[in-house]
Amino acid sequence: MFARVAPRYDLLNSILSLQLHTYWRKQVVRMLQLAPNAHVLDLCTGTGDLAIEIARHIGPGGEVVALDFCEPMLVRGRDKSARRGLNHTFWLVGDALQLPFVDETFDAITVAFGLRNLIDKPCAFTEMARVLKPNGRVAVLELTRPQKAPFRWLYDLYALQILPRIGKRLSVEDAYLYLPMSIQHYEDRATIADYMKRAGFSHVSYRDLTFGVVCVHIGVKP
């Protein structure tokens, strides 16, 4: 499915989020408080917008590894990063549930709009905890349903009625039917926080952005 949506993924992201996705990514980078020499892993990187934002933020003294199991998504990220001259970003095909890194490799790990798709989220957090250095941070940005009533109604109208129609017109129909369904079935905020704590993360917290249309979970490896 991701290989089929890859050619129009960035366009649909911008249209469907009303370009808000760039603001959300900047907020994640800000929350992580990365040092200029940070070694960062972006999981489920897709076309790499978060990896690129991190690479820009930390500058050439740091390093970003962008990992995804879908090569057609990844090559678009690699091309965008090359066009921007970001030579400290490395693009790797791999599975988020079986990370190809030794223990305690990274200072921070990010996942944007990827966790929802992983079949075993507790396993994903265990893998993240394994490859993070002590004091390393994880940040998960994910699409969520707003919790409060008026926003939730408006959101459901948009996500279930309007979004699939735009997806069908501009991209691959089934992918944009899957998208709102996967958001509806995504675990609630407390359950995700619980997975993180069980994987060993401390200082676990979460913050809604844009009326709860997205949520960012943060944790620290002790």
Ligand X SMILES: C[S@@+](CC[C@H](N)C(=O)[O-])C[C@H]1O[C@@H](n2cnc3c(N)ncnc32)[C@H](O)[C@@H]1O
Closest CA to 146 of 214, 216, 212: 212
Closest CA to 108 of 46, 28, 188: 28
Q: How many residues bind ligand X (CB under 6 A)?
A: 19
CB nearer ligand X, residue 61 or residue 100: 100
CB nearer ligand X, residue 1 or residue 148: 1
**H or E element, residue 134:** strand 132-143
Examine residue 112 and tell whether it contacts ligand X (CB under 6 A).
Answer: yes
From residue 79 to residue 98, the character string flagging contacts with ligand X as x (rule: CB under 6 A) and all else as - is: ----------------xxx-
Name which of residues 23 to 82 contact ligand X (CB under 6 A): 44-46, 49-50, 68-70, 73
SS (HEC) of 79-102: HHHHHCCCCCEEEEECECCECCCC
Closest CA to 148 of 137, 156, 140: 156
Burial class (CB within 10 angstroms; exposed 0-12, middle 13-18, buried 19+) of 89: buried
Examine residue 17 and tell whether it contacts ligand X (CB under 6 A).
Answer: no
**Nearest residue by C-beta to ligand X?**
46
Examine residue 113 and tell whether it contacts ligand X (CB under 6 A).
Answer: yes
List residues near ligand X by CB under 6 A: 2, 13, 44-46, 49-50, 68-70, 73, 95-97, 112-114, 117-118
